Chains A and B, each alone.
Chain A
Amino acid sequence: MASIAASSTSFIVGRPKWWRDGQIVRRRSITFLQRAFTYIVLIDIAFVFLVPIFYIMATSLKTSQDLTDPTIVWIPSGFFWINYPLAFFSMAYVKSLSNSLYISLGSALGQTVSCAFVGYGFARVRFPGRDALFALVLFTFLVPPQTIIVPLFILYKNLGWINTYQPFVVPSFFGHGLKGALFVVVFRQFFKTLPWELEEAARIDGASAFATWWRIMVPLAMPAVVVVFLFSVVWHWNDFFEPFIYLNRMEYFTLPMRLSVLSPSLDTATGGQASDLFNEALVMAAVFLVILPPLSIYLFTQRFFVESIDRTGLVE
């Protein structure tokens, strides 16, 4: 209250710093105490999310003596790098990485293209049954994947798609797959915010519906395209349930899947020495290697994630 009163009186008196180039400079009156409190809470929350990462990095460099030493929590006695090559080889890193990339990039590409196509139809073309169909899109989001996993498994088995990446990539080209409905909604909302004039000009100039979409609307929808692509990559990367059903041979495993079979595969990699080598530090090194690719993508693209919803106009 006091600060509000103070600011309004200062406005009436007309302190010169409120006027800059003849415009009122709006100043939020945050006291020092409020600011300090905000920072403390922000740091607290950031701490919750950063601690696990620091923990992973610290632990992955520990020797087995360090692990049992209660005085060593955050800083290992030395940098014990050997965990990294061990984790690297026992996860068959290069192979698993390329599997993960294949699934993530393939599905993300499919979902981006198909959801942009379908979302445009829902946003811009009027046809009978559109709203009912859109309600169906929302409905598909609610169906737990586990409810339909059995028939899908049988379907893919009959198609010979078990131990291939088709179960992930093919549905995504039809606007389905992991959270496909959500992406259709994102594109629909985005296309709705675009002006009609460009589109009409293209149609008058004789462009077909497809050409209008592909040459006029998609380039305009780049913010949504980037956002959907990134989210799709990350969600597929972290997905776990479906890969474990459709892929049951180790050579097809994705990186996160490898984590769960770390101990047995280390055994084969070292010729039965696993129990001596397998410890928390090794697991953490493996975890770090698994989160490294998405983490490094995020470092460069975090802007797109943070601003994603503003950019796509999902919330009006």
Chain B
Amino acid sequence: MKIAVSRDDALAVARATTPVRRRRLSLTTQRMLEGYFFVSPWIVGFLVFLAWPLFQSFFLSFHELQATSLTDLKWKGIDNYKEAFFIDARFVPKLLATLKNNLLDVPVIMIFSLFSAILANQRIKGVIGFRAVFFLPLVIGSAQVIKQLFAQGVGGATLSQGINVQELVYQYIGADAAAGVSDLLNRLLFVLWKTGVQMLIFLAGLNSVSPVLYEAARVDGATDWDRFWKVTLPLLSPVILVNLVYTIVDSFTDTFNQVLEYIQQTAFAGGFRLGYAASLGWVYFAVVFLILFVVIRITNQYVFYAGDRSG
């Protein structure tokens, strides 16, 4: 990657220093047009499938429409937004519940995937087989399949059958605690099924840490524990940020999300309230965007960029 950049820079310098001739200029223009040629499909797609719908949904959120045609619109101003926050008794609690769930899930996903990536990165026999198993959720973790599994009670109950955690807790601490533990186990299992991609990214990040640094740390007498906190973690911090953003986006667009279910119901199941659904969608988007912005701002201060990462 480094070679690529410096080569590119050299070309730019060469282009800048050579006297401007007609031929040279046309070549630059030609390259520029080629650039637009390559990204043009994406731009067309962006305008048709994203920018225009985004604008339209913003427009719709200030209207109410009865049928799925855009002809009989009724201007409502910010009434839809007012309704979402002050009248609708279901939206705000659902939004808060989603925020709370994701606030709990995201750190669990991050820590678990880092932990299992470190394990799967050990040089011991059979580790490739374990890696293959760790990515299974990515392949078969379809929302519907998970839904069915959990509907049938393949949660903490099945998992902890061998050791009977719940029963022990029930006997010694009480019914409330047992329910809590069962909830926690269910939730945990559920969350663990969403760690495939994150683990993949962490594994690659761990691989890219130069062994020389570990060697140096070991010569200086660092223990494994020290090496994790003082070599692995700082060098992994850019990867952690990438993963964090991916995890947040992924959890907030998850199908099990109550808010998204509610938006879908409002739009398509319950009387086609498309304008209101659009405003709910925008509120949700704004919230997610705000969270990402804050997270990136805060996390970026702690990210350690080793050397030139201008790539």
| B140 part of interface (Cβ distance < 8 Å) | yes
Q: Is A249 in the interface zone, CB < 8 Å from B?
A: no
Q: Is the CB of A151 within 8 A of B253?
A: no
Using known A-B contacts A125-B35, A280-B152, determine if residue A316 contacts B267 with beta carbons closer than 8 Å. Answer: no
Is B96 positioned at the interface, with any CB of A under 8 Å from its CB?
A: no
Any A CB within 8 A of the CB of B309 = yes
9 closest A-B pairs by beta carbon, nearest first, are: A121-B38, A174-B45, A127-B35, A238-B142, A309-B204, A125-B35, A151-B56, A147-B281, A151-B53
For the complex, what is the distance from the CA of A234 to the CA of B255, rounded to whole Å? 16
Are B41 and A173 touching (Cβ within 8 A)?
A: yes
Chain B proximity of A181: nearest CB distance (Å): 9
Asked whether, in the complex, the Cβ of B282 is within 8 Å of the Cβ of A152, the reply is no
Tell me, in angstroms, the Cα distance from A216 to B102 when the chains sit together: 44
Q: Does B17 contact A (CB under 8 A)?
A: no
Residue with the greatest number of chain A CB neighbours at <10 A, chosen from B35, B52, B139:
B139
CB of A192 to closest CB in B, whole Å: 5
> Which residues of chain B have C-beta atoms less than 8 A from A47's C-beta?
159
> Could you tell me the dominant secondary structure of chain A's interface residues?
helix
Residues of A within 8 A of B33 (CB): 127
- A166-191 toward B: CB 8 Å interface, digit per residue (1/0)? 00000101111000100010000000
Q: Does more than half of chain B's interface fall in helix, strand or loop, or is it mixed?
A: helix
B218 CB, nearest partner CB in chain A, Å: 6
From 97 to 135 in chain B, residues with beta carbon under 8 angstroms from any chain A beta carbon are: 116, 119-120, 122-124, 127-128, 130-135
Complex: A286 Cα to B279 Cα, angstroms: 38
B68 touches A154 (CB 8 A): yes
- Complex CA gap A248/B116 in Å reads 40
Say whether B292 contacts A259, CB under 8 Å: no
Asked if residues A49 and B54 are in contact (CB atoms below 8 Å), the reply is: no
Residues in B with CB closer than 8 Å to A83 are: none
Q: Which of B84-92, B143-151, B164-172 contacts A (4 or more CB under 8 A)?
A: B143-151
Q: Does A30 contact B (CB under 8 A)?
A: yes
The reply on A80 being an interface residue by CB < 8 A is no
**Which of A4, A144, A150, A152 gathers most chain B CB within 10 Å?**
A150
Residues of A within 8 A of B289 (CB): 142
Name the one of B39, B57, B138, B223 contacting A121, with C-beta atoms under 8 angstroms: B39
**How far apart are the CA atoms of A140 and B1 in the complex, in Å?**
25
When distances are taken between beta carbons in the complex, the residues of chain A under 8 Å from B36 are 121, 127
As a 0/1 sequence over residues 143 to 170 of chain A, the CB contacts with chain B under 8 angstroms (1 = contact) are 1111111111111010000000000000
A144 proximity list for chain B (CB < 8 A):
252-253, 260, 281, 284-285, 288
- Determine whether the beta carbon of A136 is less than 8 Å from that of B46: yes
> What residues of A have a CB within 8 angstroms of the CB of B123 in the complex?
28
Select from chain A the residue with minimum beta-carbon distance to B151. A283
The yes or no answer to A273 lying at the interface (CB within 8 A) is no
Q: Is A25 an interface residue (CB 8 A)?
A: no
Q: CB within 8 Å of A: which residues of B? A: 1, 3-4, 7-8, 12, 31-39, 41-46, 48-50, 52-54, 56-57, 60, 68-70, 116, 119-120, 122-124, 127-128, 130-145, 147-149, 152, 154, 158-159, 161, 189, 192-193, 200-201, 203-205, 207-208, 218, 221, 223, 239, 242, 249, 252-253, 255, 260, 263-264, 267-268, 274, 277-278, 281-282, 284-285, 288-289, 292, 309, 311
Among B119, B223, B268, point to the contact of A42 (Cβ < 8 A). Answer: B119
Residues of chain A within 8 A (CB-CB) of B44 are 174
Instruction: Say if the beta carbon of A250 comes within 8 Å of chain B.
Output: no
Interchain CB contact (< 8 A) of B37 among A55, A121, A130, A290: A121
- Greatest chain A CB density within 10 A among B46, B147, B218 is at B46
The interface centre, meaning the residue of A144, A305, A309 with most chain B CB atoms within 10 A of its CB, is A144
Complex: how many Å from CA A115 to CA B158?
Answer: 42
Q: Which residues of A contact B161 (CB under 8 A)?
A: 73
Question: With A41-B119, A150-B60 known to touch, is A196 a contact of B4 (CB < 8 Å)?
Answer: yes
Contact residues of A with B, CB < 8 Å? 1, 4, 28, 30, 35, 38-39, 41-42, 45-53, 55-56, 59, 73, 114, 117-118, 120-122, 125-128, 130, 133, 136-137, 140-155, 157, 171, 173-176, 180, 184, 192-196, 209-210, 213, 234, 237-238, 240-241, 245, 256-257, 259-260, 280, 283-284, 286-287, 290-291, 294-295, 297-298, 302, 305-306, 308-310, 313-316
B138: contacting residue among A130, A140, A147, A305, CB under 8 A: A305
Nearest chain A CB to B231 CB, angstrom units: 15
From A176, A193, A290, residue with most partner B Cβ within 10 Å = A176
Minimal beta-carbon separation of B29 from chain A (angstroms): 10
Contact B41 A174 (CB under 8 A): yes
Asked, given contacts A143-B285, A256-B145, whether A310 binds B39 with beta carbons under 8 Å apart, the answer is no
Given known contacts A147-B282, A149-B267, is B45 in contact with A238 (CB within 8 Å)?
no
Known: A150-B278, A192-B311. A53 touches B249 (CB 8 A): no
Contact of A306 among B4, B119, B128, B282 (CB under 8 A): B128
Decide if A315 touches B128 in the complex (CB within 8 Å). no
Is B49 touching A176 in the complex (CB atoms < 8 A)?
Answer: yes
Query: What are 25 A-B pairs with beta-carbon distances under 8 A?
Result: A4-B221, A45-B130, A46-B133, A48-B159, A48-B192, A118-B41, A118-B42, A125-B34, A127-B35, A127-B36, A128-B32, A144-B288, A146-B260, A147-B54, A147-B282, A151-B60, A151-B278, A155-B52, A192-B1, A209-B34, A240-B144, A245-B268, A256-B142, A298-B140, A315-B204
